[in-house]
């Protein structure tokens, strides 16, 4: 069941700070960032912000609002979600990213905004996090490999960033790019796909309130293997559309490249909406197995979000535009 109320992003802003406590699955960490104000060439920084971006994965996030968008389904156990990952920069086996990304450096972190916008810049992540209140949203997440999870993500609507940078009339698509650092990601050379990893959305998809930019999950900052410190979550699309560790966002007139669509276009379409009636060439998409469960369940169109997003694709052939 999806519960929706109007304008959840209008809830009063709540800051997040590291909490000086011992977390059994993470080391003790406390970080306080001094408030200040600066504007340097190519970088925007706002004052008065206590930053989570330098915090180790697992740092408690406080003051996060419970969103009116969500599902009442059982949340997948944390250990399943953090130890079974697709993050090819850190290995192609599902268990590799949790091991190989543990020393991944996520601070400082900046995001370049380019293309058809009035305010292109390289923005400090702390600046971006001032755009809207952070919310917890419990979303279903469906992998094209026929497994799924339910995760309490922490983030804010993507449309808040889109509005902030003021796209021009030519901006029809939003392209995203993941960090690629061969020194930190030496096993990526064995992945068999091109890097850096890239993805894209149509502008109306990016503006939909279900699409969010995330900095946390399960009440804590994102683990490295789950896309720290800044990732996208688009719950009605297959998981590979929810690009991790974003360093560049570009607004453009033409449809941008997408890594899996480039690598095997007969298997992965640009739109990649969950459609159980269109099988992957090597397996069925009609059912899925939730991590931690034995029995399979029926896969839902648009991952169960059809009533919220199907109008975006009115008149489109959803078999051709898979």
Tens of pLDDT, residues 150-181: 999 999 999 999 999 999 999 999 999 999 99
Average pLDDT over residues 73-89: 97
| pLDDT for the residue 99 | 97
For the chain, first and last CA: distance in Å? 25
159, β-bridge pairs: none
To which residue do tokens 């912000």 refer? 49
Q: Which of 214, 220, 233, 189 is nearest to 100 (CA)?
A: 189
What is the pLDDT at residue 49? 27
Per-residue pLDDT, averaged over 232-255, amounts to 98
Token pair, residue 220, equals 């804590």
Residues 187, 87 contacting (CB under 8 angstroms): no
β-strands 121-124, 135-142 pairing: unpaired
Pairing relationship of beta strands 135-142 and 65-66 according to DSSP bridges: parallel
* Residue 187 pLDDT: 97
Residue 5 has pLDDT above 70, yes or no: no
The pLDDT tens digits of the residues spanning 106-149 come to: 999 999 999 999 999 999 999 999 999 999 999 999 999 999 99
Residues 133, 61: contact at Cβ < 8 Å?
no
In this structure, of 42-46, 241-245, 252-256, the range with the lowest mean pLDDT score is: 42-46
Residue with tokens 């996090």: 129
Per-residue pLDDT averaged across 30-56, rounded?
Answer: 33
User: If we measure between CA atoms, which residue out of 99, 251, 239, 111 comes closest to residue 172?
Assistant: 251
Query: 62-71, 182-191, 241-250: which has the minimum mean pLDDT?
Result: 62-71
Query: Is the pLDDT reported for residue 64 higher than 50?
Result: yes
Checking if the pLDDT of 244 tops 70, the result is yes
What confidence tens digit (pLDDT) does each residue in 210-225 have? 999 999 999 999 999 9
Predicted local distance difference test score (pLDDT) of residue 15: 33
**Is it true that domain 17-313 has CATH number 3.40.50.11740?**
no
Dihedral sign for Cα 157, 50, 82, 69, please: negative
Mean pLDDT value across residues 303-317:
97
Distance CA 312, CA 258 (A): 20
Asked whether 78 and 11 are in contact (CB, 8 A), the reply is: no
Taking Cα atoms as reference points, which of 222, 235, 199 lies closest to residue 67?
235
The mean-pLDDT minimum among 49-63, 87-101, 130-144 falls in 49-63
Confidence category of residue 62, pLDDT binned at 50, 70, 90: confident
Write the CB contacts of 186 (distance below 8 Å, at least 6 apart in sequence): none
Instruction: Indicate the domain borders of the chain.
Output: 17-313
Phi, psi (deg, nearest 5) at residue 260: -70, -30
% the chain with pLDDT above 90: 78
pLDDT confidence band for 322 (50 / 70 / 90): confident
């Amino acid at each position: 069941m999806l519960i929706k109320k109007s304008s959840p992003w209008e809830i009063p802003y709540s800051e997040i700070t590291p909490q000086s406590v011992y977390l059994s699955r993470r080391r003790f960490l406390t970080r306080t960032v001094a408030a200040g104000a600066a504007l340097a060439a190519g970088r925007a920084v706002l004052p008065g912000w206590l930053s989570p971006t330098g915090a180790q994965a697992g740092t408690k996030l406080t003051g996060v609002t419970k969103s009116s968008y969500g599902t009442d389904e059982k949340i997948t156990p944390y250990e399943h979600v953090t130890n079974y990952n697709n993050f090819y920069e850190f290995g192609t086996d599902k268990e590799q990213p949790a091991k190989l990304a543990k020393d991944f450096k996520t601070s400082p972190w900046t995001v370049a905004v380019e293309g058809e916008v009035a305010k292109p810049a390289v923005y400090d992540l702390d600046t971006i996090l001032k755009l809207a209140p952070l919310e917890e949203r419990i979303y279903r997440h469906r992998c094209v490999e026929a497994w799924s999870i339910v995760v309490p993500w922490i983030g804010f609507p993507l449309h808040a960033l889109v509005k902030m940078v003021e796209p021009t009339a030519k901006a029809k698509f939003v392209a995203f790019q993941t960090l690629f650092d061969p020194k930190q990601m030496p096993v990526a050379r064995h992945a068999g796909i091109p890097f850096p990893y890239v993805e894209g959305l149509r502008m109306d998809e990016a503006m939909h309130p279900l699409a969010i930019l995330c900095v946390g999950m399960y009440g804590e900052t994102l683990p490295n293997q789950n896309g720290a410190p800044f990732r996208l979550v688009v719950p009605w699309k297959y998981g590979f559309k929810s690009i991790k560790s974003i360093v560049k966002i570009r607004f453009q007139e033409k449809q941008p490249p997408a890594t899996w669509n480039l690598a095997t276009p007969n298997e992965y379409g640009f739109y990649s909406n969950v459609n159980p009636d269109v099988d992957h060439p090597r397996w069925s998409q009609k059912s899925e197995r939730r991590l931690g469960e034995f029995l399979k369940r029926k896969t839902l169109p648009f991952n169960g979000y059809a009533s919220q997003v199907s109008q975006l694709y009115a008149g489109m052939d959803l078999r051709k535009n898979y």
